[in-house]
Amino acid sequence: MPATALTPAVRDEIARLGRADIMVGIPSFKNAATIGYVVRAAQAGLVQYFPDLKPVVVNSDAGSPDGTQRVVVETEPPDYIEQILLVRPTNRLDRVSLTYPEIDGTGGKGAALRMIFEMAAALEVQALVVVDSDLRSIVPEWIELLAGPILKGGYDFVAPLYARYKYDGTITNTVTYPLTRSLYGHRIRQPIGGDFGVSGDLVRHYLTRGDWTDDVSKFGIDIWMTTSAMTGGFAVCQARLGAKVHDPKDPGADLGPMFRQVVGTILRLSVLHAEHWLPIHGSHDVPAYGFERIIDPPPLEVNTLRLLTEFHQGSLSLADRWRTMFAPANVEMLLVLAREAGKLADAAAARLGISGDATSTKATTVEMADALAAFHFPDDLWARLIYDLIVTARDQPEAVEAMVASLVPVYFGRVGSFVIENRHLTTDQAEERVERQAREFELLKPYLIERWEATGAGRADPDAATPAGARRGPA
């Protein structure tokens, strides 16, 4: 990791706290409306499930202008939790809210978590739990579910397992889950879920890694945490948390920057860890802890008309760039699909009486998807495109950022197809489609290996102490 620049305020807090056994870390940026509840749930979980440990809750905020930090400082203190839960913990719970320093001039969720890692290491905690600050479905038990496997089960990394609505988590469903599974062999269903348990050993490993990039300081952090745990040989498991209810996002409207940061990171890490994944065939289940829960997550609307329109429009300006990223046969198929998406979107807009801007439509998800029912983006094409990008990321490391930006409209096409095909399916049935796609990634892994070995020498994982290893040119 780059040299640390902990602020004096952070150093003071570390000195004041001295040490702790268990920490809950909460990154935030403008979450005043929801973070109070998350903090209370975290406190309650620590007090109720780990009354003999020395606990601390750390909020790492971006300097939010909406009073997020004030909410953290002013929300009901641990005494309130002790009263309502009738517990008398051995140790006082400490609660701090700090503004995190940027890393090489970049701030974001990852920079927030870096400060949390530094504090966890300095305080020598045995278990760190990180949870998002926009969660509405967190309950105290999540702390036990995420920290228990570490403190009681000998695990180092606990990934969340939640029931999510069929259209939520599209970056996870289309890229991070199938790719993590096919590359590294672990079926971790939510590799970027954001709510994790991490052992003290793994926190220290994170702090020695030399592959931190600007994207890791932002939303690349989650896939970096998961991938570093797997490739570092740490014991990973999952915890059943129930439903993830948080501030949701329409994949067409809000997810562009996050997509670029997550996918840019997973591609760079794939190049870096080639020696690790080249010999892996197939995949295996990852143990899951916690009692099963049957919950219907809240539905989410998706504007498929807009997704297909953006896919088509993207193809008009990006075809030449796509030719530098993907194998020729795949680009040709992609261009045919994009033309079809454009035609179908025009016809659907006419049928639904929408003129001009598809964002202003009042049509429902199902009405739009019914009107676009003929569109289908095949699983195997998507898998090949992602595999092509891993090879291109190795051969043109400086182009990764531009590449993932140019992938966004393709991703919109792929997500549009997923929503259209699943419009009448239950969430469970849609889950089977996600599994089918993941199996396709595994089946096609030989395609990746063949291209990888045909076009150049792989690069080994650099020495963990090498600064900014991920940004070096090819060996």
Ligand X SMILES: Nc1nc2c(ncn2[C@@H]2O[C@H](COP(=O)(O)OP(=O)(O)OP(=O)(O)O)[C@@H](O)[C@H]2O)c(=O)[nH]1
Q: Which residues bind Mg ion (CB under 5 A)?
A: 134, 246
Site string for ligand X, 41-60 (x = CB under 6 A): -------------------x
Nearest by Cα to 160 from 192, 187, 132: 192
| Smallest distance, ligand X to C-beta of residue 64, A | 8
| Smallest distance, Mg ion to C-beta of residue 379, A | 27
Nearest by Cα to 189 from 165, 167, 160, 168: 160
Q: Is 133 in the site for ligand X (CB under 6 A)?
A: yes
- Contact of residue 270 among ligand X, Mg ion, none (CB under 5-8 Å per partner type): none
| Smallest distance, ligand X to C-beta of residue 214, A | 12
Select from 33, 258, 280, 352 the one that contacts ligand X (CB under 6 A): 258
Token pair belonging to 458: 């792989």
Site for ligand X in 180-219 (CB under 6 A): 194
Select from 62, 198, 338, 448 the one that contacts ligand X (CB under 6 A): 62
Contact 388, 331 (CB under 8 A): no
Which of 108, 191 has the CB closer to ligand X?
108
Select from 29, 224, 322, 377 the one that contacts ligand X (CB under 6 A): 29
- Contact of residue 107 among ligand X, Mg ion, none (CB under 5-8 Å per partner type): ligand X
Running DSSP on this structure, what letter comes out for residue 246? B
Q: What's the one-letter identity of residue 469?
A: G
Which of 190, 406 has the CB closer to Mg ion?
190
# of chain residues touching ligand X (CB under 6 A): 22
Nearest by Cα to 241 from 169, 177, 293, 172: 293
Instruction: For residue 160, give Cα distances in angstroms to 23, 128, 192, 276, 471.
Output: 17, 14, 9, 24, 30
Instruction: For residue 167, give Cα distances in angstroms to 156, 175, 297.
Output: 30, 14, 11
Angle at Cα 306 formed by Cα 410 and Cα 337, nearest 5°? 40
Nearest by Cα to 176 from 270, 107, 301, 280: 270
| Smallest distance, Mg ion to C-beta of residue 196, A | 14
Contact segment (CB under 6 A) with ligand X among 174-182, 244-252, 390-398, 404-412 equals 244-252
Q: How far apart are CA 54 and CA 87, in angstroms?
A: 15
Q: How far apart are CA 266 and CA 407, in angstroms?
A: 14
Site for ligand X in 299-318 (CB under 6 A): none
427 exposed, middle or buried (CB, 10 Å; 0-12, 13-18, 19+)?
middle
| Smallest distance, ligand X to C-beta of residue 377, A | 21
Q: How far apart are CA 43 and CA 65, in angstroms?
A: 24
Which of 35, 202 has the CB closer to ligand X?
35
- Contact of residue 387 among Mg ion, ligand X, none (CB under 5-8 Å per partner type): none
List residues near ligand X by CB under 6 A.
27-29, 31, 60-62, 107-109, 112, 132-134, 169, 194, 246-249, 255, 258
